[in-house]
Structure 1
Amino acid sequence: MSLLSTLFPRGMRRRWWMFRPIDALIALWPAPRIPKGAVVVRMDGIGDMVMFRAALEHYPAVLGLPKSEITVLGCHSWKAVIDEVFDGFTVVTIDEHAFEKKWFYRLKIALWIRRRGFKTALCDMFMRKTLTADTLVWASRAPERIVCTPFITERTKAEYAWYLAKATRVIDTGPYPTHEGLRHFTFLQALSGTRMPAEIPAIAWPDRKPALPEGAPYVVMFIGSNEPGRRWPLEKFIIVAKQALETGLRVVFVGGPQEAYAKPILAEIGHPGLIDAIGALKLGQTVDVMKHAACVVGNDSGPGHLAIGVGAPTLLLAGGGHFGCFVPYPEEIRPPRVRFLNTPMECYHCLWRCPKRAGPQDAFPCVADISTDAVWAVVRELVG
């Protein structure tokens, strides 16, 4: 890449140009004389973190560093569980949305990563944003900047070309839609030069008593998702919940403030075995509840992957937006008591740009069409 194309590249978004003064300042900022340690950039959600965690355990051996010298740069969305999940590693979380939009916050974080003087910066995220993950790797100015080949579209081609040219090594972890759980170990294999089979996603979690009253075994239902389209309709969750209650199981609904719309509907059911814990539990407490559940039923979301990670029998309801990238898990890394349900459609891999739903708050048809009979059959199987 020539000096002219480096300084004045074509095809970059207006926001990229808006942040150029920060890039210039970071490029000129002095760093510690002797670079040391490594930073692993993970600008993604809770579910992605769960799938990455098993691979992270191999980084000390591959990089030849103790855990304490490996910094995981993550997102505030999973800040609440870092003490349990990342024992021994240094973890720093940021507001990735603010980093992508706010000038002074971006400057603050970019200066922080530059001044740390890391020797190695790594990012194996396939689905990532150049203005977050790739910028952070570049801003580290680490002598070794190792990334994987990302998912590139016509719109992002110019920006990725600029940042990939600044990496010291780019590793191809496979074509779309290779599952993330496999990609992490392909990346490690390339780093280590040795064969490294993929492992089942798992996280260590303390065996704490859940914040629930004593009673019969229970099914956890998580009705939320960051994208409304990925939410299986609430009325279908209710149908399956009533079936579970009729068999003597308890049903626990969990979620955050954004799921509060369901509370009046749950109150109307009035069954003593139904526990409405929406908005009542912190993230760690929700994990405690899921860990001890007879079964967890939920959408393709962070809490669903957390349930899988802590070993709970789990059923996730999947859509087709990027089918195979995150769900379902390939057989070689699917835990024995984990199931996925989906409705095959010819429009899979739309990247969630769905023309078939009436409004932005409606469920995608590939999610909404999953039948309650199919879900109840899997719940019965997992509960035993």
Structure 2
Amino acid sequence: MGILDFFKPNKYENSKLIELQNIVFNIDSTSLQVSRKQLNDALNKYVSDHSKIVNDCVNLIGTTSDSNTFFTRFNLLNVHLKALSKVENYYSFSEMLPSAQLKKLSIDKDMLINCFISKSWETLLSKTSSLKTEKAKQNNISKFFENIYGYKNNMSNSNVEHLEKLKNSTNLSKVKIDTSGKVIYDGLKKEIDASLYEYVYNKAINDKNIHKFFPEGIPKQTVFHIISEHFKGRRSEAINADICKMFFDISNKNLEKITQTICSISSIALTMSRSKKLGINWYVWRTCMDTRVRPSHAYLEDVLINYDTPPFSETLLNEKPIDNYNAGEQYRCRCCASPVIRLDFISWPHKVFYQNKIQTMTKEQFESIM
């Protein structure tokens, strides 16, 4: 017997329950058909089902290089976030509200699609490098553009321009050179100096989780090998296969976590180095927006951070502090830093981490501390 059998809600409460009932059961009724317990159970299932699909979509959008999968999942993500946003007033979400995620997805759409295009292009070049004939390479390239142009209606002018630049720069002789990643790697080598290697190494030896497995400190040559191979474009799984041959007393799974962490720190170190050379000292903290994001990191989502004064993120939620670190610098952290190139790209007022706390600032206030 449900609570409704003992408690008769007032007219306003009853109308809200009917509204919720119609959402979670997908019906159109003017009266309450279920008990509060049934409604609560249905609400929990509704949130669980939609959240699972949201998480699957986020993971696939971030990893796939297939056009159909990306755009289908991107649209599906919108659909299920909208479904979750309908019950925000009835359910206590522990992370970012679905409506806020929808807004962020809309703001980041161009960037996400451009990243997908670039990643798919790099994957294509890598695959074509193993093909023996120029005709086979050209056929693969033609098929790539044919597939992705099928989703032109889902793209902005910025996305189409990015795609056109890739297409216009394509010729067989260039593909033969670029497929190995040599051009990209040669460019990276010019940017990476000894200070970047030392920065990543210092972060690694001071990481408490890594220290558990290397009480005397992880060997410098191991860290340097991971950094070097990471910037060559090798995946962390492949790099970890090298590391596993060096240490037989640590499980492959734990070594994989360490390798992933060092790769992540290397990426943020390069982003930070590039930003500072351009006079950019601030970035927006970005999370993966899924259930695996740590509460302390979810709390920093969309917050402006200075590279030189990163937060002790745990203390912001009164948790035991680990260390102060930028996005992506902590053990197994999947967050990333999005450099602030123009203030016009930021919505104001905005949250800013300044003087060891998160403050809401206007554009003028932020400009005064830049």
Normalising by structure 1, we get a TM-score of 0.24
Query: Higher helix proportion, which one?
Result: 2
What TM-score, normalized by structure 2, do the two folds share?
Answer: 0.25
- The structure whose RCO (Cα within 8 Å, separation 6+) is larger is 1
